[in-house]
């Protein structure tokens, strides 16, 4: 999986789990302010990302620093580069 595939996968999570149209998904989009998620949604965002990328991130402290969509891209890409997940 390359970086673009990771970004596409993250975007799919937002489209499928949170019904956000693709045109609103920009790297600089803020998760709360621009995409309209709230604290309860963050729990389900973590669950959806875990399922999508077969990772365990609920206990990962870096999750707390995420603010924008690009923060998620970079977080997942970092996990991938560290060999932290596998997906067919």
The whole-angstrom separation of Cα 40 and Cα 31 is 12
Burial of 53 (0-12, 13-18, 19+ CB in 10 A): buried
**Marked catalytic residue, from 3, 11, 38, 71:** 38
Which lies closer to another protein via its Cβ, residue 4 or residue 23?
A: 23
| Residue 87 touching another protein (CB under 8 A) | no
| Residue 23 touching another protein (CB under 8 A) | no
Work out the angle at residue 63's Cα, subtended by the Cα atoms of residues 57 and 66, and round it to the nearest 5 degrees.
145
* Phi, psi for 68 (deg, rounded to 5): -120, 170
Least Cβ distance, residue 45 to another protein (angstroms): 9
Selected range binding another protein among 5-13, 23-31, 36-44, 76-84, rule: CB under 8 A: 36-44
Active site residue 38: yes
* Phi, psi for 41 (deg, rounded to 5): -65, -30
Residues that bind another protein (CB under 8 A): 18-19, 36, 38, 40-41, 43-44, 47, 50-51, 56, 58
């Amino acid at each position: 999986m390359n970086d673009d595939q990771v970004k596409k996968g993250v975007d799919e999570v937002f489209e499928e789990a949170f019904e956000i149209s693709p045109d609103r998904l920009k790297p600089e989009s803020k998760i709360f302010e621009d995409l309209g998620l709230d604290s309860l949604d963050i729990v389900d965002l973590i669950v959806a990302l875990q399922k999508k990328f077969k990772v365990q991130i609920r206990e990962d402290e870096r999750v707390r620093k995420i603010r924008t969509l690009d923060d998620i891209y970079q977080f997942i890409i970092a996990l991938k580069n560290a060999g932290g997940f596998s997906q067919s």
